[in-house]
Amino acid sequence: MFQAVGELIRHLPQTTIVKFAGKARGGGAEFVAAADMAFAAVETAGLGQIEALMGIVPGGGGTQYLRDRVGRNRALEVILTADLFDAETAASYGRINRAVPADELDEYVDGVARHIAALPDGVVEAAKRALPADGFKEGLLRENDAWATTISLPAAQRLIGEGLRDRAQTPAGERDLEGLMRGIAP
């Protein structure tokens, strides 16, 4: 289902823009990658694919979107280290368009959106047709198979269960989700 949402976003005729100042991990990071453009606050934003620490692989398009944006070698680094990448590193890798100071983020992204909105009718659609979103059908099927295989493994069930027990999905747990999950014995 989450893959379908990402694909709907990627294939909209309108330009989709994500602006964030917080942390986007797992499905949130996949949502960011599905958008046409993403801008993040230098001081506070972070992107991470935490799934490997839970014994699974990304299942919402993350493997395909990452490879498309950053290349296979960096996609493997992002997925297999499960690190939280700061906005400047995410921008240098191509995961986001630009890291902007937090106090300038709203104005900058509003300016981008205004410039796009001011274009003559048909230009956005023509540009998106000329630069189509790659078709990931085969890759998404492989991703789904990999996710379905790993989610049913005893290690994944234990890691996810212990992460929930240790309050991974609370505000306090999410502040250092990578550290919390790494603290659970493999």
Q: Would you state the structure tokens that stand for residue 18, as one six-digit string?
A: 């994500």
Nearest of 50, 3, 5, 53 to residue 29 by alpha carbon: 50
Q: How many residues does the chain have?
A: 186
Q: Which of 43, 51, 104, 125 is catalytic?
A: 51
The question of whether 7 is a catalytic residue gets the answer no
Q: Which of 112, 173, 122 is nearest to 14 (CA)?
A: 122
Q: Of the listed 7, 30, 104, 125, which one is catalytic?
A: 30
> N- to C-terminal Cα distance for the chain?
29
Active site (annotated) includes residue 30: yes
C-beta separation of 39 from 19 below 8 A: yes
Contacts of 153 (CB under 8 A, 6+ apart): 55
- Tell me the residue type at 73: N
Helices 2-10, 137-151: crossing angle, 10 deg rounding: 160
Amino acid of residue 61:
G
Other C-beta atoms lying within 10 Å of the C-beta of residue 94: 13
Q: Please count the CA atoms within 13 angstroms of the CA of 74 that sit on its side-chain side.
A: 16
* Active site residues per annotation: 30, 51
